[in-house]
Structure 1
Amino acid sequence: MAAELELGGAEASRLAVVRECSVLERMPKWLICVPLVAQWLWLSLRHGGATVPCAANPHITSGGMAGEGKLEYFRGMGPLARSVTADYCAVFNDGMATEDSLRQTITAEGLCFPLVAKPDLGLCGYGVRLLPDMAALLAYLAVFPHGETVVLQRYLPQEGEAGIFYARDPVTGEGRIVGLALRYFPRVTGDGRSTVAQLVAADVRARRIARSPRHECSVPFGSVPAAGQQVRLATIGSTRVGGLYRDAAALITAELVRAVDAVARDMPDFRFGRFDVRYESLRELAAGRGFTIMEVNGAGSEAIEAWDPDIGVIQGLRMVFAKQRLLFAIGAAQRKAGVRPIGLLALARLNRRQNRLVGRYPPSN
């Protein structure tokens, strides 16, 4: 990792190629949930409520556990936080949008194609598509659920992507970075003979992209990359399409903590969550500079660094457990300060609606 600090995003990406999947990635989700649910129940008894974590970020729906929109985080940002966030606009899909009205909306925010479209209410990269032109946007809206909002955001071409997990200590009020993960996009390397489909099938990570029913590979499967040519397979870096997460806790510096804490404090009472960013180089990121926020996730954020293939299942679960305990502690402190968490049935309804919408979104790419 120290060597990667000297490199930009693309060079670091080449160093990070890992074929195998972590034990946590290979485990059935229900099996991972068993110990997490057990600790959640214990913490619920200890802190007096299963939805105590929802009080962590009181200005966000359910604190960001479920059912919140991406725009809720953006619209609450002050000038400092806004200055390091990728430009965006919102389109309510009422079926009435025309090419002219969409162009006016886009240009009013200083945006131009290519753009990234993402559901305001989404998760795990579902429905996120890179749109090269107006025709692609119109096609996207034609199959996007009516009555829901699409976020159009400036495309960030940097190869470097990171998830910065932030928490504000419930006792001291000190802002901390409690996790840093580097995210690498799924890719294959050509040999001059094999098609993309054959290269994907031979790669234990990349083959996930062919098995994902809610994703379309942006590269023709029949094309034959030149020998040594690296082919990026997706706009998103989620593990569900073969992305790779690497624990980068060694890169957490005082400068990065100060920069992220300043952003978090420029949002209304934001105390727990993950900033997903693109960056130019690891050296710049560690110095607290040169990063751009793509989106923010609240109380429901995953400790994605635990999915690093170099981290064993016990250590990975410990990392997830630790963040769960911290989330309850922050939520309990907020409740003690007068924040009232959402009810359990209301949270369940939000989660059900969110999961129902995911199945209706256009495929990611």
Structure 2
Amino acid sequence: MKAVRNWLHQPFFIRLLHWEYWSFNTVYGPILPIYLLIGARARSFFFFSAANPGIRNGGFLMESKKEIYDLMPACAYPQTAFFTAGSLPDQVIRSVREKGLTYPLIAKPDVGARGRGVRKIGNDAELSLYCRECPLDFLVQEFISHPLEAGIFYCRLPGEEKGRITGIVTKEFMTVTGDGQSTLRELVLREDRYILQLPDLEKLYGDRLNDILPAGGKKELVPFGNHARGSKFMDDSHLADDALLNVVDQLCQQIPGFRYGRLDIRFVSWELLKQGKQYSVIELNGSGSEPTHIYDPRHSIFFAWKEIIRHWWLLSRVARDEHRKGIPYLTVKEGLQLFRDDAAFNKKINTIRV
């Protein structure tokens, strides 16, 4: 029995027995025919590009985070500085200081890829290293220390003056608690979710994984809520109410050309968020957004398929409405080029140390 338990804690079996870790093609492949039917109804398989006219490609792939932030009220997102690939470290450090940004900071590529390349920066040396290692345009922004993070999915359908919340995911960050005897590595190996992150943690922490955490001491290993970086996602869609919708809708109505997507928000408490206080939108994602509440471990793959299809249908309704107003879909040539650009981009971003 012990041998069986050991096998089940190997990365291969962890992934096999928990659908939330399956590959994109494995999850989406079985329902691709439904997407094709929805695309046929829209008369374009690239209908997603029209859903958010204010965002490049509708926010499906290769959209710029900086361009999205520029659409939002400045008070709604972290103070942010943009830098082109190859920017000299001394110039970046000087510019960050001139903007009044202080450590800790968050550095991340301007085009995102499921948390890849996002790093918490604690000093000039770490920022200088990031500048040298990142081969892409990137952002440096203030670190929002609010304790809670949620992804709130929003869409505004044709004929609706007010949008709707279609899902809420809350995020439990990758954190270990010490016992005064075990190393960080040993604590990580006790949690299946964290075992899968060990290769990246080894790159990030190196020999510090041999440190012993005091009894009761907590260590947040990854300071942001990304499923691909070890966070646990929980479906809290039941928290959607009129107060929350009023806050989210009021913000989204101020973002030109945004009707469908997910807002990833850091905040102090649900009570204050529902009053529109003490929150910051870490990222706004467009038509390529997943309804990430599906990744709650309590949900089956069948629930996930149902929610993905439901959101594809909502996306198509928004996109077709915008298309009727004159917003073009990507042509086949443009759509295929978009996927080629994304493939090339992923090769680059995968060269960045986590």
Structure 1 and Structure 2 fold alike (TM over 0.5): yes
Cα distance change on mapping 1:66 and 1:213 into 2, 3 Å: farther
| Residue from 149, 154, 165 that aligns with 1:161 | 149
After superposing the two structures, state which structure 1 stretch, 180-189 or 338-347, moved more.
338-347
Q: Aligned residue for 1:194?
A: 182
CA contact (8 A) 2:115 2:229 kept: no
Q: Aligned residue for 1:47?
A: 42
TM-superposed deviation, 1:235: 2.5
Partner amino acid, structure 2, of 1:92? T
Distance across 2 between alignment mates of 1:218 and 1:132? 17
Distance across 2 between alignment mates of 1:282 and 1:197? 34
After superposing the two structures, state which structure 1 stretch, 127-136 or 235-244, moved more.
235-244
Q: Aligned residue for 1:243?
A: 231
Partner amino acid, structure 2, of 1:181? V
Distance across 1 between alignment mates of 2:38 and 2:308? 14
| Residue from 218, 243, 246 that aligns with 1:255 | 243
TM-superposed deviation, 1:268: 1.1
Cα distance change on mapping 1:35 and 1:174 into 2, 3 Å: farther
Name the SS for the 1:358 alignment partner: helix
TM-superposed deviation, 1:128: 0.5
Identity %: 26
CA RMSD, aligned part only? 2.2
Instruction: Determine if the alignment matches structure 1 residue 130 to structure 2 residue 120.
Output: yes
Q: TM-score, normalised by structure 1?
A: 0.86
Q: Aligned residue for 2:22?
A: 27
CA contact (8 A) 1:196 1:222 kept: yes
Give ranges in structure 1 of 5+ residues lacking alignment. Answer: 1-19
CA contact (8 A) 1:217 1:233 kept: no
Instruction: Determine if the alignment matches structure 1 residue 315 to structure 2 residue 315.
Output: no
TM-superposed deviation, 1:229: 2.4
Name the SS for the 1:220 alignment partner: helix
| Residue from 91, 94, 117 that aligns with 2:86 | 94
Name the SS for the 2:149 alignment partner: strand
Q: Give 1:44-83 correspondences, 5 Å limit.
A: 44-77=39-72, 81-83=73-75
Cα distance change on mapping 1:196 and 1:94 into 2, 3 Å: closer
Q: Aligned residue for 2:264?
A: 276
Name the SS for the 2:264 alignment partner: strand
TM-superposed deviation, 1:302: 0.9
Name the SS for the 1:181 alignment partner: strand
Structure 1, residues 129-179: CA drift from partner, whole Å, max 9, x if none? 11111211111111211xx32111101112211111110112324211111
After superposing the two structures, state which structure 1 stretch, 135-144 or 23-32, moved more.
23-32
- Relative to its length, the structure with more helix (as a share) is 2
| Residue from 274, 280, 285 that aligns with 1:297 | 285
Cα distance change on mapping 1:171 and 1:24 into 2, 3 Å: farther
Instruction: Determine if the alignment matches structure 1 residue 265 to structure 2 residue 253.
Output: yes
| Residue from 192, 203, 212 that aligns with 1:204 | 192
Partner amino acid, structure 1, of 2:156? R
Name the SS for the 1:227 alignment partner: coil
CA contact (8 A) 2:106 2:118 kept: yes
TM-superposed deviation, 1:356: 2.8
Q: Aligned residue for 1:6?
A: none
CA contact (8 A) 1:58 1:339 kept: yes
Distance across 2 between alignment mates of 1:115 and 1:219? 23
How many residue pairs were aligned? 338
Distance across 2 between alignment mates of 1:319 and 1:46? 19
Instruction: Determine if the alignment matches structure 1 residue 356 to structure 2 residue 351.
Output: no
Cα distance change on mapping 1:221 and 1:98 into 2, 3 Å: closer
Name the SS for the 1:141 alignment partner: helix
After superposing the two structures, state which structure 1 stretch, 286-295 or 206-215, moved more.
206-215
CA contact (8 A) 1:62 1:347 kept: no
Distance across 2 between alignment mates of 1:296 and 1:272? 10
Partner amino acid, structure 2, of 1:270? F
Q: Aligned residue for 1:13?
A: none
Name the SS for the 2:348 alignment partner: coil
